Each structure stands twice: as structure tokens, then as C-alpha cells.
Amino acid sequence: MIKNHSIRTFIFCLIITVIIAAGLTFSEPEKYLENILSSFIYTMCIGFSIHILLHITFPRIKALNSIFRMSILVVLFLIGGLIGTGISVAILKIIVNWNFTISNYISLLYFNLLLSIIFGSIAVLYITLKDNAERMASKLKEKELNEERLTRFKVKAELEALQAKVNPHFLFNTLNSIASLISVNPKAAEDTVEKLSELFRYTLKDADKSTVTIREELEIVRTYLEIEKVRFENRLQYSINYDESILDLQVPVLLIQPLVENSIKHTIAKEIHGGSIFVELRKIENKCRVLIQDSGKGFGTMNTENGFGLRSIQERLKYIYGNEASLQINQNNATQIIITIPMP
């Protein structure tokens, strides 16, 4: 940081050197070499004297009242001008053996003090603008980080809510089915209890684990459908097809199961003769396409009851994949939900 400030001070001094040397050379063209040399030494000595003083004092005084701060800065500029002039005169005496009369030295000192105020004011303006720009950039970055953090918390909260959201009707109906099986088919009742336990264990996974493999997600989808099949028996038909090559692909947890649950709720449960659900996962080019299709007429608009899972999935897809993932709903004689996610 100090090195960068020193480089900027050096460059600024060179610019001032050129301006002063050009002005002096215009009035005394035969002395252009002397003008360049003396201008360079004056500006460097004064510039770095002010640079050092500002580096030491500015962080301590920038929080002061503006009038008080400017008064201190003007004094610093003048001190820097005095120090720089003294050093430059000494250097010129050593290098070119210049002798200064009192009159010449006073004239030079007046000029250099004026130069110091101009140089210092520009330097302070630069530092102030730079500090303001850095502060604004820091606030903007902090705002972006806060927004990202809020988005992450929101997505995590919705996932936790989705994981904790167990349809009480589903639980009640499953327990009734288990109760009715105990006397006539104890083995089926035991299997159903195990499947229900597996489903609950999956839906209560740690929310920090935001992704699972397709293999894991399909296992829980099949478990859920088998539990529902105990209740609906032949009224529920389903099939699950997939490409073996994508089973280890990581996808958002609870990506498919809530959509299958929607199909059960709005197709099988509402139709006398039940219906069918078709789940398919295929690798298409560099994307994985997830299709959930049922034989129902659809669930209408995305209201609070049936839309929470869909909205949560949409927001999690956007959070994880940005615009590379999509969720599409087609409703006609059947309902299709198509999700595409990128593959690594």
C-alpha cells in the first residue's frame, strides 16, 4: 500500500515537474536543462515531504471537523514546503554548486510554499476521493455479501421447512393402512413401518446437506410410492426409468419426491379409478432431464397449498445453478413437470 502511494506521488511530481519546467523554459528557453533539473528536485523534495507528513497524520485527523482539519492540513503543506525547499536547496548546492542570495531564497520559498499548498490540496482531494470510493466499494461489496447471505438463509430455511413438512393426511392414512394390515398381513405392516421410518429419516436430513445423489433421491421416491401403494393398491400405478450413467450425479435434496407427492394429491387421490405416475431421468447432451408425469388434469394455479414445494425447488435450482437450470410445467390431458439441470 505504501509502495503504491509512493509510486503515485512520484508520477504526480513528474507531472508537476513538466508543468513548471515548461513554464520556466518558456520565459528562459536557454536554461531549459537547469529548469528541468531544478523543477524535478523541487517537486520531488516537496512532494515527498508532504507525502510523508500526510501518511503520518491524515489517518489521525480525517475524522476531525472539516474546518479544523483543513487548517491543520494547510499548516502541514507549509511545513512540507519548508522542509522540501531546504532539502532541494541543499541538493542543488551539492550537485551544481548553486549559490542562493537571501532575496532569491525568499522568492523561491514563496513560490515553493504556493506550490506546496497546491500540491497538498490536490493530494488531499485525491486521498479523500479514493477513500470515499473505497468506502462505497466496501459498502457495495458488504451489501452484496449480505444479500447473498440472506438468499442462502432463505433457501436453507425453505429447505428446512420442506424437510419438516409432513402431510398430516399422508401420515394419518399410512398409519391407518398399517393398522389394517397388522391382523391380516403382519409382514406387510412391518415393511410399511420400515418404509415410513426410512422416509422420515430422509426428510429430516441435516439441512446443511443440500445435495444428494440421484440414486438416493430415487430410492426415497420409490419408498414413498410403495407406502402410498399400500393405501391406494391398484389405483396407483407407477414406473421409474433412468440412465445408469447419471445415478451418481449430485442434485438438490428433495428435488423429485415433493413433485411426486403433488401428483398423488392431485391425481390419484381425486380420481375414482386412480391413475399413473411416470418418473424418468435422462442424460440429454450435457444436461440431466427429470420428467414427472401423471395422468391427471393438473393442479391449477400455484396456490399456497400446492405451490410451496414447487417454489422452493425453483428457488433452490436458481440458487445452485443460476440460469443453467429450469423448471417447466405442462398441463393438458396429463401434467408434466420437466426439470433440466447442468451436468459437470
Cα–Cα nearest to 277, from 312, 243, 252, 241: 241
- Residue 304 has what pLDDT? 37
pLDDT tens digits in sequence order for the chain, 344 residues long: 455 666 766 666 666 656 655 655 555 555 666 667 777 777 777 777 777 877 787 777 777 776 777 777 778 778 877 887 788 778 877 777 666 666 666 776 777 777 777 766 776 776 677 777 877 887 788 777 766 665 665 556 555 555 545 555 567 777 777 887 787 788 888 888 888 888 777 766 644 567 889 999 999 899 889 988 888 888 899 999 999 999 999 988 888 988 888 888 877 888 888 889 999 999 998 899 999 998 876 554 444 344 556 777 887 888 788 889 999 988 877 788 999 999 98
Burial of 229 (0-12, 13-18, 19+ CB in 10 A): middle
**Angle (deg, nearest 10), helices 102-164 and 66-96:** 130
pTM value?
A: 0.53
- DSSP label of 322: G
Q: Set out the domains of the chain in order of their start, with CATH numbers.
A: 2-153 (no CATH), 165-342 (3.30.565.10)
**Angle (deg, nearest 10), helices 66-96 and 32-61:** 150
Q: Contact at 8 Å (CB) between 58 and 124?
A: yes
E-strand ranges in the chain read: 211-213, 236-242, 250-252, 275-284, 287-294, 326-331, 335-342
